[in-house]
Structure 1
């Protein structure tokens, strides 16, 4: 990495993370308050959507992709935005709290569902970007 590129990448990641974190908060608030799905629904939503976004963007901006995006733009979205938007640590906390409440079944179901749907969303993002890249 060239010396001048370092600060630009750091700024891109930081700005992307700030935007992603704000959207995570707003998504969680809307899903929990507006739709009544609770904190688990909000955490699941951002992880699933984030999985789609990161795979779609990685594919559409990759070496065979249609969108020409430089390193700072890729890091803004993938490390910054998606890193700030998704919530693996919050998902871990949610599962742990379910375990503390003695609900092994619900904790396991929650983790399995979020992981399954996140991987499915990543696949849909990949396939969608491949279609655009053709």
Structure 2
């Protein structure tokens, strides 16, 4: 059985503070990702370093966020949606990873595509673990 998806009760208006915090965070994260893309362009057949960078740093930040906020109560109710859904949702991008990988394969750069996928997933897993570890170390508690 899965937990219910949080949201407004039937007949109630959505929480505008929550919606606003997610929207503002998403705008900030998306603009940051766009800036990284401008700073680290890539050509055909090259590893898309900008997408790799934002996805791995986003994984680290999510691990840190989980260890710092989710595992420990007491943070303002809008911090987690702002950072986790908004900023990190706008910062990271699975869709760009998928499109860039398909484009690399279609351009006969299969080895680069496999390297890109491997780097993204392996580095992302280590980044989450490092973020969780740092978050728990930096804020000890139950």
Count how many residue pairs are aligned between Structure 1 and Structure 2. Answer: 128
Classify the secondary structure of the residue corresponding to 1:84: helix
User: Out of 69, 72, 83, which is 1:64 matched to?
Assistant: 72
Structure 2: 5+ residue runs without aligned partners? 1-6
Structure 1: 5+ residue runs without aligned partners? none
Classify the secondary structure of the residue corresponding to 1:32: coil
| TM-score, scaled to structure 2 | 0.82
Counterparts of 1:23 and 1:39, CA distance in 2: 20
- Structure of higher CA gyration radius: 2
Counterparts of 2:123 and 2:83, CA distance in 1: 21
| TM-score, scaled to structure 1 | 0.86
Cα offset for 1:8? 1.1
User: Out of 113, 117, 125, which is 1:107 matched to?
Assistant: 113
Q: RMSD between aligned alpha carbons? A: 2.0
Moved over 2 A (4+): 1-5, 62-65
Larger helix share, 1 or 2: 1
